[in-house]
Structure 1
Amino acid sequence: MSLDSEHSEFARLIAQHQRSIQGYILANVPRWGDADEIWQETSVRLWLEFDKFERGSNFAAWAIRVAHFEILTWRKKVSRSRLIFGEDFIECLADQQEQFTTPQAQDRLKALDQCLENSTDQQRELLSRFYEPDRQVHEIAEAMKCSVDAVYKSAQRIRKMLRQCIEHRLQNAELPS
């Protein structure tokens, strides 16, 4: 394989699976800055070891395994922190992460993106605030000038709408054109 085609293949694969890999890292690291540092180290390691990747196999699973080891390296550097997950927990997450790298999971993520694009600005804003790290629901309620219960109910309705939209898109995608 020529260097140019290897570059192209790596770029395509990393772009296709970046969200899954970063999601795994973020699930294991308490701070965004640390997760970003690990993502950068993981990206470099993936490129340096790309010749070891078995073409045709699951790139996301391989990349997540590389990220797993980068997380372990990071953990050793900051081992005095109380916010670090144990190795057993990280191993368990690594094993569970494979289910999110399947083509079906990727189809669900694509459907979610499409459903979010079709939702209103207000719905996206509420969800963005609702899932923002360190954001309290009472702060969202104050900003939106409504009750905490109203925020929870709105978020529940939006999640239900998104779930139905995703299921509808997935069912329609399976139908012959």
Structure 2
Amino acid sequence: MGSDVEKDRFLTLFLRHERELAAIARASLPDWNAVDDVLQEASLVMWRKIDQLQADDEFIPWARMVLRFEVLKYRRSCSRDRLLLDDDLVALIAIEAKDETSEYVQEQRSAIRACLGKFSAEHQKLLLAPYTREEAVKEMAEAAGKTANSLYKRLGRLRTKLHDCVRMQLETAS
């Protein structure tokens, strides 16, 4: 993907639907850390293949397909874990979750916006960096004179704080 137009197109579409995709992934994965990992991998695949998407209104079905493959790949890598559900049950849950996600997704988006607003601009930029470019975190580390590993550790801590904040927001709203 070379053009800035395609990059902007991807970012617009992905950020608009990220929480919906996270909710779909969560229905099939054991925890939010797995969701973060799978969503990040899926976003990189989508980023590289956005030029294959014919129309913007086809983004969700296309993204769901990419996400499904990344979920299956993750589940295969964790196949020794007895706590994971079998693939048929996961598919059934995903189908049922599709109908229930829209209200929940709206609540999540609202909670995420509120929680992201509590972070500094620098932390917001770091939280969003993995979804913008594959090398964004490494570039940020170089610019700040830090190691990429230290920034990834900070990103992990920020994600945990964001997750906890969102969870608290959703529990409070319930």
Common topology (TM > 0.5): yes
Within a 5 Å distance, the mapping from 1:1-40 to structure 2 comes to 3-40=3-40
From 89, 106, 110, give the equivalent of 1:109: 106
The Cα of 1:54 is off from its aligned counterpart by 2.5
* Residue 41 of structure 1: aligned partner: 41
Question: How far does residue 100 in structure 1 lie from its aligned partner after superposition?
Answer: 5.6
SS for the counterpart of 1:58 is: helix
Name the SS for the 1:54 alignment partner.
Answer: coil
Distance in structure 2 (CA, Å) of the matches to 1:96 and 1:5: 35
Change (3 A) 1:99 1:51: farther
**Structure 1 100/57 Cα, relative in aligned 2: closer, same or farther at 3 Å?**
farther
Specify whether residues 57 and 83 from structure 1 end up closer, same or farther in structure 2 by C-alpha distance, changes over 3 A only: same
Q: How does 1:57-72 map to 2 (within 5 A)?
A: 57-72=57-72
Matched letter for residue 128 of structure 1 = M
Which residue identity lines up with residue 26 of structure 2 in the other structure?
L
Contact 2:25 2:71 in 1 (8 A): yes
Q: Which residue of 2 aligns with 1:128?
A: 168
Compute the displacement of 1:78 (Å): 1.0
Unaligned runs of 5+ in 1: 118-124, 132-154, 160-177
Larger radius of gyration: 1
Q: 1:77 to 1:100 in 2, by over 3 A?
A: same
1:96-126 per-residue CA deviation (whole Å, 9 max, x = no partner) reads 454467xxx37x827x839xx7xxxxxxx9x
1:129 to 1:50, Cα distance in 2 relative to 1, 3 A: closer
Q: Aligned in 2, Cα 1:92/1:53: closer, same or farther, shift over 3 Å?
A: farther
Between the aligned residues of both structures, percent identity stands at 26
Tell me the CA shift for residue 95 of structure 1: 3.1
Amino acid at match of 2:17: H
Q: 1:54 to 1:89 in 2, by over 3 A?
A: farther
Distance 1:130 1:55, change over 3 A: closer
Looking at structure 2, the residues matched to 14 and 100 of structure 1 have their Cα atoms a distance apart, in angstroms, of 20
Structure 2: segments with no counterpart, 5+ residues? 115-164
Query: Taking structure 1 as reference, are residues 55 and 100 closer, same or farther at Cα in structure 2, changes over 3 Å only?
Result: farther
Report what 1:168 is aligned to: none
Q: Report the number of matched residues.
A: 122
Q: Could you give the per-residue CA deviations for residues 105-150 of structure 1, whole angstroms, max 9, x where no partner exists?
A: 37x827x839xx7xxxxxxx9x82884xxxxxxxxxxxxxxxxxxx
Name the aligned partner's letter for residue 58 of structure 2: N
Backbone CA RMSD of aligned residues: 3.5
